[in-house]
Amino acid sequence: MTGKLNLLKQHACFNGTLSFYSHVSASCGGPMNFSVYVPHPVETDSFPVLYFLSGLTCTEENFMMKAGAQRYAAERGLILVAPDTSPRNTGIPGEEQDWDLGTGAGFYVDATEEPWSERYQMYSYVVNELPELIATHFNGDLSRQGICGHSMGGHGALVCGLRNRDRYRSISAFAPIVAPSQCPWGQKVFHHYLGEDRSLWGAYDATELVLTLSDDRRPILIDQGMADSFLAEQLRPELFVNACRQIDRPLIYREQPQYDHSYYFISTFIEDHIRFHASHLNP
């Protein structure tokens, strides 16, 4: 059942409306925030939807404020949705201690370990609860959904997209954490959220997931800045690229010289990603 939305603020933007909402999430057991851009109405009963999952420390505001995506979404008639990156102010001990664990670091998984499991259910929130809200309140067409993300959110976009071929027609990412089971960021949060049994980690590891989906031919686009300071230790895109090659999986992987991990990188190539998704959501 969809919940009541509390409008926090709203802005006109490229003939559409950018709004920020809070609501009580059934998945996460408390308040959650998200932002939504709805383009100017066109002659259609509903809009395709593109979700953007942000990275570590971000909120529902970063993408909408910095990426410059609304112009291109308006041109192509797409709803843009950006959820917060975690529940907040839950009272869980240690939630505010580290920038890469707890607040702002939900990692788009459903935590199974106490004390995180009661509130940190970001996978279910993104895949199930949030789309229902978008369909009910904003006329989103759930038969035409795409998902994109950056860094931790790139990991989330790949995992949510790969695991739900019936929900997402297109998947893209900027500098994603493609193999969290094999990097310090992922190993830290998986230990806390999912426990010591590494066999459970694979459900949230895009490099492991893609090897089990050789018959899935949906398009994936990844952009990676080659001046990214996290490239070698945390992101490791070659692992995902090699996995796709192993099963002959379609992948558009682009290395961008001189670009780093910032929103300067995202804003440079966001039009390409909007165009990519629109071609599959608005054929």
Specify the pairing of strand 47-53 against strand 79-83: parallel
Q: CA-based Rg of the chain, rounded to a whole angstrom? A: 17
228 is catalytic: yes
Q: Which helix (H) or strand (E) holds 192?
A: helix 184-194
One of 25, 86, 151, 172 is an active-site residue; which one?
Answer: 151
**Strand-pair partners of 172:** 148, 221
Specify the pairing of strand 170-174 against strand 6-13: unpaired
Which three-class secondary structure state does DSSP give residue 207? helix
CA dist., res. 225 & res. 233, Å (int):
14
State the residue for tokens 């309140």: 137
141 is catalytic: no
CA dist., res. 173 & res. 60, Å (int):
17
Q: Are 219 and 250 in contact (CB under 8 A)?
A: yes
214 is catalytic: no
Which three-class secondary structure state does DSSP give residue 52? strand
Q: 59-83 burial by CB neighbour count: b if 16+ within 10 A, else e?
A: bbebbbebbbbbebbbebbbbbbbb
One of 23, 155, 192, 261 is an active-site residue; which one?
Answer: 261
Taking the alpha carbons at both ends of the chain, their separation in whole angstroms is 31
Q: Are 268 and 210 in contact (CB under 8 A)?
A: no
Query: Which positions are annotated as active-site residues?
Result: 151, 228, 261
